[in-house]
């Protein structure tokens, strides 16, 4: 059971448990401050539900993506609007969701393209060799499909560079079922997100949607650079 559903059930049980049968008929003259306390309680409940929904937000992502595809999802590209570690987190979440549904998943990344060619490198043990993909060749769809099938994978999840640095992610996505654009709270601004969306659409790739990562990493970035 998801955290969101668990929270909703707990809040419902608390509400039912707090009701006193002797007070079934509400007073027509509520005590002073009752309205304010009710408003505070509702606000508290709303905050907890929103928090649970944020924690559980990625849990249905795979099902939503699969619902968008008429013939099912076979390969997708994930990229940020700007550089963000959320891409790897969303990728891991999608892989986990797909595997829980019994699918064999091949995870890969796009290496820095050289000219017209991008190198798609599989991640993990027992992964197949890298694939050289011509970004401007329509045969890329079949190349990726054969590469995925040779690896006996039902789903290919490809992580690519942010669209703020170029359109490579969108060009690779043209050979897949679509692009998932990732935005990170307090990192990705509206302008960068809008520009990345337009850049993706200009390439002709299918934009499956935007995923907002609301998680917080409490370690400052200067500390990450120091220990990295």
The two three-digit tokens of residue 6, written as one number: 């668990």
Q: What's residue 129's pLDDT?
A: 87
Report all structural domains of the chain as residue ranges with CATH numbers, in order of start.
1-14+36-59 (no CATH), 69-213 (3.40.50.300)
Residue-level pLDDT at 191:
93
Under DSSP, the state recorded for 114 is B
Nearest to 150 by CA among 186, 122, 170: 122
In angstroms, rounded to a whole number, what is the distance separating the alpha carbons of residues 16 and 12? Answer: 6
Which pLDDT does position 157 carry in this prediction? 94
What pLDDT, on a 0 to 100 scale, did the predictor assign at position 9?
52
Task: State the DSSP H helix or E strand holding residue 131, giving kind and residue range, or none if neither.
Answer: strand 131-134
Give the helix ranges, DSSP H, for the chain.
3-18, 34-56, 61-68, 86-100, 140-150, 168-173, 190-203, 221-227
Beta-bridge mates of residue 183: 212
Please, are residues 206 and 173 in contact by the beta-carbon 8 Å criterion?
Answer: yes
Please give the pLDDT value at position 21: 41
DSSP per-residue letters across 157-189: EEE---GGG-SHHHHHHTTSS-EEEEEETTTS-
Question: What CA–CA distance (Å, rounded) separates 177 from 167?
Answer: 17
- State the pLDDT at residue 219: 43
- pLDDT tens per residue across all 228 residues of the chain: 544 445 445 544 554 454 444 443 443 444 446 667 666 655 554 444 444 334 344 556 777 776 765 556 789 999 999 999 899 988 998 888 888 888 899 999 998 776 788 899 999 877 788 999 988 888 888 999 899 999 999 999 999 999 999 999 999 999 999 999 999 888 899 999 999 999 999 999 999 888 888 765 544 444 344 434
Sheet holding 179-184, edge to edge: 131-134, 117-122, 105-110, 155-159, 75-80, 179-184, 207-213
Q: How far apart are CA 40 and CA 105, in angstroms?
A: 46
- Check residue 43 and give its pLDDT: 56
Q: For residue 48, what pLDDT is reported?
A: 43
Predicted confidence at residue 46, as pLDDT, reads 45
Predicted pLDDT at 134: 87
Helix (H), strand (E) at residue 143 = helix 140-150
pLDDT at 68: 63
Spatial contact of 133 and 55, defined as CB atoms under 8 Å apart: no
């Amino acid at each position: 059971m998801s955290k969101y559903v668990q929270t909703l059930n707990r809040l419902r049980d608390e509400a039912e448990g707090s009701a006193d049968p002797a007070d079934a008929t509400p007073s027509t003259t509520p005590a002073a401050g009752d309205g304010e306390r009710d408003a505070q309680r509702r606000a508290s409940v709303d905050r907890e539900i929103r928090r649970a929904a944020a924690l559980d937000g990625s849990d249905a992502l795979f099902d939503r993506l699969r619902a968008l595809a008429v013939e099912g999802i076979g390969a997708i590209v994930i990229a940020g609007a700007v550089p963000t570690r959320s891409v790897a987190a969303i990728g891991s979440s999608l892989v986990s969701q797909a595997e829980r549904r019994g699918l064999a998943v091949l995870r890969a990344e796009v290496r820095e393209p050289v000219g017209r060619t991008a190198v798609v490198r599989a991640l993990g043990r027992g992964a197949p060799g890298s694939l050289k993909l011509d970004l401007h060749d329509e045969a890329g769809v079949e190349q990726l499909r054969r590469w995925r099938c040779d690896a006996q994978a039902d789903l290919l999840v490809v992580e690519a560079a942010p669209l703020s640095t170029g359109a490579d992610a969108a060009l690779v996505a043209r050979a897949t079922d679509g692009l998932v654009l990732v935005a990170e709270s307090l990192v990705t601004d509206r302008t960068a997100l809008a520009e990345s969306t337009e850049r993706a659409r200009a390439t002709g790739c299918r934009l499956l949607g935007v995923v907002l990562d609301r998680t917080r990493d409490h370690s400052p970035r200067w500390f990450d650079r120091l220990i990295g």
